[in-house]
Structure 1
Amino acid sequence: MPTAQIADRAVLLVTGPDAEPLLQNVITPDLSALNEGEARPGTLLTPQGKILFDFLISRTGDGFRLDCRSDVAPDFLKRLMLYRLRAKAEISLEEQSPVHVSWQTDSPASWDKSTSVADHRFPETVVRHYGEDVKADAPEEEWHRLRVAHGVAESGSDYTLGDAFPHDILYDQNGGVGLRKGCFVGQEVVSRMQHRGTARRRLVIVHGDAPLPASRTDLTANGRALGALGTVCGNDGLAILRIDKAASARQAGTPILAGDIPVTLTVPAYAFTLDGGGEAETA
């Protein structure tokens, strides 16, 4: 069971009797579907539907734990405070809260669900641990390889906050957006994209015939940019691409290149049909 410490993470706590209704009306995931002992992806959007903050959310005590990037955590805290108004909820930033992740484990009954939760983004058992009592025995690079293999994007590495919609990173298909839960910030834009099927940028897994070039390198077909690489781990990486253009290139037999490296594209098993131009198979 490899375990890695994830650098540059922070934890916000939202507690109190109004913690759930406060968050349910603001963030994208449906908290009524969030079970004890699991973490689901989520975002706080701009009114225009762009991702302002991304995080993993899990239940803890009488509230919620929001696991986010440490560099944006203070701004995330301030933004949530703006929405609190008269709600009976306390919002705080935990000091010195290390985050570890374990995988290749099949014994969830042994976890302490108050400090360890299953990461809902993965089809296999991946567990995030909060607190000081976990020891790392694997490099963080192995965690990023796991993310790449399963098409799990994170801001900073794979996209810029303020520049992507939830559909771009498959949050409409992996539980990161509660499409039927009702209002949240940016909901009108997300709902319109869903019902009109207008999502054209999508996250894909990229495999190169040789080690891929650096992150931010363009992926091209016939010299035209389709998108750019995000996380890169050897021959494999992630990218957010114009899927309609990628599908046209594939159907025409036009090579898709990362720099000058030929690549193939795949998607997570649960997600959209690649050669369908980016339309989701399921909502």
Structure 2
Amino acid sequence: MTSSSTGIPEGAEDIPPGVALPLESNLAYMNGISFTKGCYIGQELTARTHHMGVIRKRLLPVQLSAPLLSGRIPEGSDILTESGKSAGKYRAGGDELGIALLRLANINELLHINLPGDTTVNLTATVPKWWPKPANK
């Protein structure tokens, strides 16, 4: 079960093994990554990305425009901008809440998912309150 309202990923639906990157999954924000110790698979890429400070996608909570009447949104469904540009992938959720991997550049745009049967579900992304605040430069 996902903690969709808070944007905290839980389990393989939210963080698919072999697909999800630790920084995109917000693991550094949750102290799930150490940049001072250990050796782990992907450590070099993760550390380099962290220190460069360029993370273009992150898991975010999403609010659906209405509860789904006909079941769930399939995992990995494409999330599109109003112009039809890819904005990310839906990971998991239920009712009106979900969690999605989204390009940060698109989170303030109108987003939607096209479902079978010519059904469109609109969604709104939010930045979780527990995320660290950006430093003023």
Matched, 1:182 2:42: no
Distance in 2 (CA, whole Å) between partners of 1:226 and 1:198 is 17
1:192 to 48, 67, 75: 48
Aligned residue in 1 for 2:84: 223
Aligned residue in 1 for 2:129: 269
Q: How has the CA–CA distance of structure 1 residues 272 and 204 changed in structure 2, closer, same or farther, with 3 Å as cutoff?
A: farther
1:129-140 matched pairs, under 5 angstroms: none
2:97 to 223, 233, 236: 236
Q: C-alpha displacement at 1:170, in angstroms? A: 0.2
Distance in 2 (CA, whole Å) between partners of 1:193 and 1:151 is 21
The one of the two structures with greater contact order (alpha-carbon pairs below 8 A, sep at least 6) is: 2
1:269 partner amino acid: K
Distance in 1 (CA, whole Å) between partners of 2:89 and 2:15 is 9
Encode CA deviations 1:111-155: one digit per residue, 9 max, x unaligned.
xxxxxxxxxxxxxxxxxxxxxxxxxxxxxxxxx26x112212134
Aligned residue in 2 for 1:208: 64
Q: How has the CA–CA distance of structure 1 residues 272 and 220 changed in structure 2, closer, same or farther, with 3 Å as cutoff?
A: farther
Between the two proteins, what is the percent identity of the paired residues? 25
Q: Give yes or no for contact 1:203–1:267 (8 Å, CA) kept in 2.
A: no
1:256 to 108, 111, 127: 111
Query: Whose helix proportion is higher, 1 or 2?
Result: 1
SS of 1:192's equivalent? helix
SS of 1:148's equivalent? coil
Distance in 2 (CA, whole Å) between partners of 1:150 and 1:265 is 11
Q: How has the CA–CA distance of structure 1 residues 201 and 155 changed in structure 2, closer, same or farther, with 3 Å as cutoff?
A: farther
Q: Give yes or no for contact 1:207–1:236 (8 Å, CA) kept in 2.
A: yes
Q: C-alpha displacement at 1:218, in angstroms? A: 1.5
Q: What is the total number of aligned residue pairs between the two structures? A: 124
Aligned residue in 1 for 2:117: none
Distance in 1 (CA, whole Å) between partners of 2:67 and 2:90 is 13
Which structure: larger Rg?
1
1:190 partner amino acid: T
Q: C-alpha displacement at 1:268, in angstroms? A: 2.1
1:1-283 matched pairs, under 5 angstroms: 144=1, 147-179=3-35, 181-185=36-40, 186-212=42-68, 214-215=73-74, 216-221=76-81, 222-244=83-105, 246-247=106-107, 250=108, 254-259=109-114, 260-271=120-131, 281=134
Distance in 1 (CA, whole Å) between partners of 2:122 and 2:17 is 29
Distance in 2 (CA, whole Å) between partners of 1:255 and 1:148 is 19
- TM-score normalised to structure 1 length: 0.40
- TM-score normalised to structure 2 length: 0.78
Encode CA deviations 1:167-198: one digit per residue, 9 max, x unaligned.
1110011110112x234223221111111112
1:264 partner amino acid: T
Q: C-alpha displacement at 1:163, in angstroms? A: 1.3
